[in-house]
Structure 1
Amino acid sequence: MANKMNGSEPITAAWLAEGQSSQRDMLESLQALKAQSITPFTIIASHRHDRPEIFEFADTVFREPYKAATSKEISINPAPAERWQFVLEQAKKNHVKVLLTGRNSRDYEAHRDLFTQAGIRLLTGATSVTALETIDDKFAFMQHCLAHNIPVATAWRFDTTAELEALLAKHSQQRLCVKPVTGIFAQGFWRLDAGFDSDCQYDSFEHLYFTDSKKISTEQFVNAYANSQMVHKRPIPMLLMPYLSGREYSIDVVCEYGEVLAAVTRYKEGKIQHIGYDKAVMEVVTALIKAFNCDGIVSVQTKQNDEGQHCVLEINSRPSGGIGYTAHSGIDLTQIGFGYWLGLTDKPKLSDSIEHITPCQIRSIVTSVKVETDV
């Protein structure tokens, strides 16, 4: 049954579908926004797993795809459906005005017209399946950046050991690294030793022991790749790249059809995150968001080369795991974005948000919540 406000118009809703690692923090921000708002709205969350630590910050929750309801879930039992179909059906019933799709953006984006027809503002990170595919394919992403004169980390693709060895022979007089064409959370990323420098030979056992360093000797990486049963059974396109030695930035961005509405930059030194607004980084990010017509809340990674130039590493077409950190800066990007898309505030201006950012340093901590299981 739809929520009503004093018997008048139905209360609209914001829906956060399953995300990667920021769904809980964003829902908490939305609850704070709701508490401050004169206009009421409902907060909906969904996930494929039972995640009570996420669901505790939602007013209504669903499972993706839906199955038997738990204590807080709505008691309906629809016929089996694809994820996007189920979400669309329930979004219509619950008067959803804004839907942030999280980790399954391409499935939703392929049916954008149906969501638009239902009056739902769909936020997938871009506005076409092609754009999302280009963002996810790091080699295609690099080519698109180059075509738009955006400084980007150079990369050479390899699909076989022979191709890798040929690339190493050509580019081995510089520091190099490897990573998959597609992937998240630095999965598959390794720094290779510089074979031309006898003082820079990596001890691979040391780096197996201290895994966070993400280093391996070039010879041992080639051997592991050449003899991998996993790679033989399921080929994994990889990239060989120059290793950029400068500072790495993560930039959280609220954007609409290629326009940056608000953004916060951060970089990490040890365990400390430095949060603020770096104009030099944002010059690159603003052009990048426009080139890919990004739409929603996305995150961008850049890194400086040896000359200090900011080069783009990637766009994540979804909020970063650190989106909640922005609340310490004086602005909360989740609230800025959803306040606008829900019609609670005027369209944000980047210049206005910049004025409210106070640079700060934060340390993230690990906490815990008690998980109640259904009997």
Structure 2
Amino acid sequence: MSAPERVCRVWYNSAFSSIANVLTLIREADHAGRFHTMYTHPHAHTPAAGAAHEFHLEPKGLTAADYVDWCLQFCREHRIDVFAPAKHASALSAAPGRFLEHGVRVLSAAAADQLDIIDDKAAFYAGVDLPLAPPPDFRIFKDIAQFEAAHAELRPLHKELCVKPARSVYGLGFSVLDEERSSAALLLAGASYRIGLGDLRRGLAELETFRTMLLMEYLDGYEYSVDCVGANGHLVAAVARKKLPQPGQGQVIDMRADIVESCAKLAADFGLSGMFNVQFREGRGGLRLLEINARASGGIGMACLAGPNLPYLALVGFVDGHEGFGPEQLAVRDGLRVGELGTAVALP
């Protein structure tokens, strides 16, 4: 009788809330018990604590360099085989050799320099080449003079404009410019993600200089979120969701050829691996690229209802190679309508 296959010990460090779905999906698909998952977070009561086989606390307040050292020590103590970083991903992706010395393979979405470009939308938009879905028309600004110059260029070309930081997550800092109402009027009207143009101008003038911001054309069409699995620049699997604007209508799996082709090109251009997410939105000029997220999206559970178990494919493919995946593992139920319900959990 042959000896049982050694269990692969996999560590996911502190991540966004979607990590709970990622861990749950892996455990549901791992019928042979090949993988022992661990999750770490600086807060003991994180809702994702129970999603992995093991949960451990992370230290708080470490610099990126000190955090890399702590991760190395954690890998040694817990005999980690595969490390999939989210927190301080760029610093950890820059040190794969240090981990490999201890037998640990680092599953990163991209090389450190590419992750830094992806995270900076000003650099990302300026350098990306995507003919089927180019980025929105945009200008950068760091003071009121640059804002006024950018506004004078873009406003005659587009019906509405918006602003957002070059570096941000969850859409924090995004607002559509309203040329008629003040921010107070917008607040009282319950108009979210909008800011009065006059109020913005006054505020920017008071700040003098600030972090890099983007002034962009506002895209008012359908938004698409595409969860993907890559392998060294090759797109292995993708599930595209079209977000419907009406509340309660859910989302629709829409495998548009231009979207899938665009994701394949982005994977090749940025050398993407593991799990990543690409956001698109339609405007008057057609489909536009919004961003790449070097992680699973918040809607990963909905995407996987359409067929491929993307987190499991990403992990198994990294360990074994993706060549063995068959059509039954990659087939997508195009046109499926999906939605999401909140689930209550008892916290540790």
- Alpha-carbon deviations, 1:269-296, whole Å to 9, x = none? 1341222422221121211121111122
**Offset of 1:345 from its aligned partner?**
7.2
The count of residues paired between Structure 1 and Structure 2 equals 339
Task: Choose from 4, 12, 18 the match for 1:16.
Answer: 12
**Counterpart check, 1:293 vs 2:257:** no
Corresponding position: 1:283 with 2:261: yes
Mapping of 1:207-222 within 5 angstroms?
A: 207-209=186-188, 213-222=192-201
* Residue 265 (structure 1) aligned with residue 240 (structure 2): yes
| Unaligned ranges ≥5, structure 1 | 1-5, 68-80, 196-200
1:205, 1:367 → 2: CA distance? 35
Counterparts of 1:261-340 in structure 2 under 5 Å? 261-269=236-244, 270-271=246-247, 272-308=250-286, 310-340=287-317
Q: Tell me the residue number matched to 1:362.
A: 338
Equivalent of 2:139 in 156, 166, 178: 156
Match of 2:166 in 1: 181
- Counterpart CA distance in 2 for 1:292 and 1:158 is 26
Match of 1:76 in 2: none
* Contact 2:5–2:34 (8 Å) recurs in 1: no
1:57 has 2:37 as partner: no
The residue correspondences of 1:337-352 to structure 2 (distance < 5 A) are 337-343=314-320, 346-348=323-325
SS at match of 1:103: coil
The alpha carbon displacement at 1:226 in A equals 2.3
* Alpha-carbon shift at residue 299 of structure 1 (Å): 0.7
Instruction: String of CA shifts for 1:131-190, please: whole Å, max 9, x gaps.
Output: 111111101001111498962222211000111112112222222111101001111111
**How far apart are 1:101 and its partner, in Å?**
0.7
CA distance 1:204–1:262, change in 2 (3 Å): same
For residues 19-168 of structure 1, what are the structure 2 equivalents within 5 Å?
19-34=15-30, 36-37=31-32, 40-51=34-45, 53-65=47-59, 82-127=66-111, 129-146=112-129, 151-168=134-151
SS at match of 2:291: strand
| Deviations, residues 212-255 of structure 1 (Å, cap 9, x unaligned) | 63122322221222234xx76xx221011111222111111111
Alpha-carbon distance change, 26 to 210 in structure 1, aligned in 2, over 3 angstroms: farther
2:234 is the counterpart of 1:238: no
**In structure 2, what is the equivalent of residue 223 of structure 1?**
202
Query: Match of 1:265, SS?
Result: strand
SS in 2 for 1:371: coil
Distance 1:331 1:265, change over 3 A: same
TM normalised by structure 2 equals: 0.87
Amino acid at match of 2:45: R
User: Aligned residues: percent identity?
Assistant: 26
Amino acid at match of 2:200: F
What amino acid sits opposite 2:215 in the alignment?
L
What letter is aligned with 2:204? Y
- In structure 2, the gaps of 5 or more residues are none
Question: 1:99 and 1:212 mapped to 2: Cα distance?
Answer: 42
Q: Which residue of 2 is the match for residue 198 of structure 1?
A: none
Separation of aligned partners in 2, 1:250 and 1:342: 26
The structure-2 alpha-carbon separation of the partners of 1:214 and 1:183, relative to structure 1 and needing over 3 Å to count, comes to: same
User: 2:36·2:53 contact (CA, 8 Å) conserved in 1?
Assistant: yes
1:258 to partner: Cα distance: 1.2
Q: 2 CA distance for matches of 1:205 and 1:66?
A: 38
Residue aligned with 1:364, SS: coil
Provide the aligned C-alpha RMSD in A: 2.7
Asked if 2 retains the 8 angstrom alpha-carbon contact of 1:262 and 1:353, the reply is no
